[in-house]
Amino acid sequence: MRVDAYLIPAVDGVAYGLLLAIAAAGLTVAFGAGGVLNLAHGTLIAAGGYVAAATSSGTWPSLAAAVALAAGVGAAGGGVLAAATAALQGRGHLDQALLTFGVALVGADLLTAAYGSDTLRPRLPEVLEATVRIAGHRYPVDRLAVLGVAVAVVAAGYVVLHRTRAGRLIRATVDDRAMVAGIGVNPRLVDAAVLVAAGALAGLAGALTTPILGVGPHTADTALLLSLIIVVCGGLGSVPGALTAALAVGVVQTVGVTSFPALAPYLLIGAMAVVLLARRTSLPTGASA
Partner 1 sequence: MSDPRPHLRRRLAALTAAGLLLTGVACTSTATDSGSVRVGLLVSLSGTYATVGVDMQRGFRLYLDTHDGKLGGRKVDLVVADEGDGPATAVPAAQKLLERDQVVALTGLVGGATVDKVQTLTTQRKVPLLGANARPAFAPVGGKPRDLAYTWHTSYNSDEPGIAIAEYVRAQVGDGQVYAIGPDYQGGYDELRGFTDTFTRLGGKLANPDGRTLFTPFPATENFLPYLNKAAETKPKAVYTFYAGAAAVAFVKQYAQSDLADVPLYAAGFLTEGSVLTAQGSAATGIRNVLNYSPTLANQANQDFVAAWSAAGHSGQPTTFAMASYDAAAVLDRALTAVNGEVSGEKLNAAIGQVGRVVSPRGDWQFDPTEHRPVQRWYLREVRNDGPVLSNVLVQDLTTLPAS
Shortest Å, Cβ 231 to partner 1: 19
Which amino acid is located at 15 in the chain? Answer: A
Task: Compare residues 118 and 176 and give the one whose CB is closer to partner 1.
Answer: 118
Our finding on whether 8 is near partner 1 (CB under 8 A) is: yes
Shortest Å, Cβ 265 to partner 1: 5
Choosing from 258, 283, 287, 288, the residue that interacts with partner 1 (CB under 8 A) is 258
Q: Which pairs with CB-CB distance under 8 Å and at least 24 residues apart come from 132-135?
A: 134/7, 134/8, 134/11, 135/4, 135/7, 135/8
Task: Report the 3 state secondary structure along the chain.
Answer: CHHHHHHHHHHHHHHHHHHHHHHHHHHHHHHHCCCCCCCCHHHHHHHHHHHHHHHCCCCHHHHHHHHHHHHHHHHHHHHHHHHHHHCCCCCHHHHHHHHHHHHHHHHHHHHHHHHCCCCECCCCCHHHHCEEEECCEEEEHHHHHHHHHHHHHHHHHHHHHHHCHHHHHHHHHHHCHHHHHHCCCCHHHHHHHHHHHHHHHHHHHHHHHHHHHCECCCHHHHHHHHHHHHHHHHCCCCHHHHHHHHHHHHHHHHHHHHHCHHHHHHHHHHHHHHHHHHHCCCCCCCCCC
Choosing from 93, 217, 236, 244, the residue that interacts with partner 1 (CB under 8 A) is 217
Residue list 15-54, contact with partner 1 (CB under 8 A): 16
Task: Compare residues 186 and 258 and give the one whose CB is closer to partner 1.
Answer: 258
Choosing from 140, 177, 238, 275, the residue that interacts with partner 1 (CB under 8 A) is 140
Our finding on whether 57 is near partner 1 (CB under 8 A) is: no
Choosing from 65, 72, 97, 137, the residue that interacts with partner 1 (CB under 8 A) is 137
Q: How far apart are the first and last CA of the chain?
A: 56
Our finding on whether 148 is near partner 1 (CB under 8 A) is: no
Cα dihedral across residues 271, 274, 34, 41: positive or negative: positive
Choosing from 218, 232, 236, 275, the residue that interacts with partner 1 (CB under 8 A) is 218
State the Cα–Cα distance between residues 78 and 63, nearest whole angstrom: 22
Task: Compare residues 240 and 270 and give the one whose CB is closer to partner 1.
Answer: 270
Total number of residues binding partner 1 (CB under 8 A)?
Answer: 35
Choosing from 88, 95, 121, 228, the residue that interacts with partner 1 (CB under 8 A) is 121
Task: Compare residues 102 and 265 and give the one whose CB is closer to partner 1.
Answer: 265
Contact window for partner 1 (CB under 8 A) among 133-141, 145-153, 171-179, 186-194? 133-141
Shortest Å, Cβ 214 to partner 1: 5
State the binding string over 236-255 for partner 1 (x if CB under 8 A, else -): -----------------xxx
Which parts of this chain interact with partner 1 (CB under 8 A)?
Answer: 5, 8-9, 12, 16, 112, 116-121, 123, 129, 131, 137-140, 142, 212-214, 216-218, 222, 253-255, 257-258, 261, 264-265
